Amino acid sequence: MIDLNFDVLHDRRNTHSLKWDQFKDRIKAKYNVHDADDILPMWVADMDFAIPQVITDAIKERLDHPIFGYSYVSDACKQAINDWHEKRYNWSIDPKSILFHQGVVPAIATIIETFTEPGDKIGISTPVYPAFFNIPKAQKREVITCDLVDSENGYEYDFVALEETFKSGIKVYILCSPHNPGGVVWSQNDLEKLVQLCIKYDVLLISDEIHADIVFDGYKHIPTLTIKDADKAKIVTCIAPTKTFNIAGIHAAMMVVPNDSLRIKLTQNLQAHGLGEINLLASAGVQAAYEKGEDWLEAMTQYISKNMDYVVEELNKLDGISVTKPNATYLVWIDYRKTGISEDEMMQRLLVKGRLAIEPGTKYEEAGRGYLRMNVACPFETVKDGVERFKKALS
């Protein structure tokens, strides 16, 4: 089948792609790199693969009807959301508990706005996806960070340190599960401890599970809402098919909120801003993805896993570079601390000498200093090119 050929090189230039087009302005402003046409972008988290044909077909089918009037998310779409999670994670999602939003980031913004006031403390474990601190800061909340511990097997929680963060009076803790940028699938034990802390300190838990579906053999994502005592905690879980199927541009996400009182408050706040709907093409895409996208996902995950193996093997040959294969995501977290190279110099080398755009670690908070994040959701040929450019930058 044509859509299962992940080797195809799609030219994404001049498609208003953040990754392929807009990055040039960003690096011009930040790193003073002007001539960027031949720089290979392996940064923002979307894929260079064609999306599953079943999603394109569903959107086309809806386009064939000539009227795009007001619409609502169908019961069949909600059923597809439930079936996917029930089958893959043994997690049954009551359609009543689903609230829709334009994305996980806007959902996090709404949750924080609903349940906290300016000046309130929000806890996060760093390094982590930038919206986790940028959104609360933009809403004038105080962000309390607690660093994850970088062990041989990747990041781990230090629960003693984390409890201090909870004791400091945080109102909300934002969990990234699986973790971006570290690619960790949190264990049952980790999640149980986290839920218990939230109960003990009466902290609202936002569980961002956007990366749940891309998990490698030997690991299993566990939805936070299926953890022991989850019903005793205040939890809002954010899910979306957008990372899984490379459809971030359709803008769709779900908040799963079984707790009635939390859901009522969130619904009221969504209504206060005229939010809570997704558009009719997004809803056709979400439904098709969850109903028919699984084969594509399985094949894509295998492909990425091989890309990962290659990158890990090649980069680990370089002096001072250390990379562990992540448990999940298509993001490789590269530790270059032992090279002694500063972040500014590393970015200059990568962009100017290597002609490669990957993410500097401090984008994920100070705890990310000395690391880089590389996106390997692209054809193997591109991955090989990226690795060669990385080597050149360090030579």
- Contact positions vs ligand PLP (CB under 6 A): 45, 103-105, 129, 176, 180, 208, 210, 240, 242, 248, 253
In the complex, minimum distance from the CB of residue 241 to ligand PLP, in angstroms, rounded to a whole number: 10
Residue 326, preceding bond cis, omega within 30 degrees? no
Q: How many helices (H) and strands (E) does the chain have?
A: 12, 15
In the complex, minimum distance from the CB of residue 318 to ligand PLP, in angstroms, rounded to a whole number: 26
Residue 145 or 242: which CB sits closer to ligand PLP? 242
Alpha helix (H) residue ranges in the chain: 23-31, 53-64, 75-89, 104-115, 131-138, 159-167, 188-200, 260-272, 280-292, 294-315, 343-348, 380-394
Type of residue found at 290: Y
In degrees and rounded to multiples of 5, residue 287 shows phi and psi of -65, -45
Residue 284 or 394: which CB sits closer to ligand PLP? 284
Going by DSSP bridges, is the β-strand pair 204-208/235-239 parallel, antiparallel, or unpaired? parallel
In the complex, minimum distance from the CB of residue 374 to ligand PLP, in angstroms, rounded to a whole number: 14
Residue 104 or 122: which CB sits closer to ligand PLP? 104
In the complex, minimum distance from the CB of residue 82 to ligand PLP, in angstroms, rounded to a whole number: 19
Contact 185, 176 (CB under 8 A): no
Contact 199, 232 (CB under 8 A): yes
In the complex, minimum distance from the CB of residue 129 to ligand PLP, in angstroms, rounded to a whole number: 4
Residue 33 or 248: which CB sits closer to ligand PLP? 248
Give residue for tokens 């050149």: 392
Residue 101 or 355: which CB sits closer to ligand PLP? 101
In the complex, minimum distance from the CB of residue 213 to ligand PLP, in angstroms, rounded to a whole number: 13
The CB density around residue 210, as the number of other CB atoms within 10 Å, is 26
Q: Which residues pair with 231 in a beta bridge?
A: none
Residue 203 or 377: which CB sits closer to ligand PLP? 377
Residue 111 or 210: which CB sits closer to ligand PLP? 210
CA distance 246 to 210: 12
Residue 130 or 349: which CB sits closer to ligand PLP? 130
Polymer length of the chain: 395
Residue 248 or 374: which CB sits closer to ligand PLP? 248
CA distance 182 to 334: 9
In the complex, minimum distance from the CB of residue 175 to ligand PLP, in angstroms, rounded to a whole number: 10
In the complex, minimum distance from the CB of residue 348 to ligand PLP, in angstroms, rounded to a whole number: 25
Distances (CA, A) of 356 to 6, 18, 113, 322: 21, 15, 38, 19
Q: Which residues pair with 121 in a beta bridge?
A: 142
Sign, CA torsion 387/343/316/327: negative
Residue 308 or 393: which CB sits closer to ligand PLP? 308
Give the distance, in angstroms, between the CA of residue 314 and the centroid of all CA atoms in the same chain. Answer: 25
In the complex, minimum distance from the CB of residue 333 to ligand PLP, in angstroms, rounded to a whole number: 13
Please identify the residue of the shown chain whose CB is closest to the bound ligand PLP.
103
CA distance 343 to 83: 45
In the complex, minimum distance from the CB of residue 43 to ligand PLP, in angstroms, rounded to a whole number: 11
The CB density around residue 285, as the number of other CB atoms within 10 Å, is 30
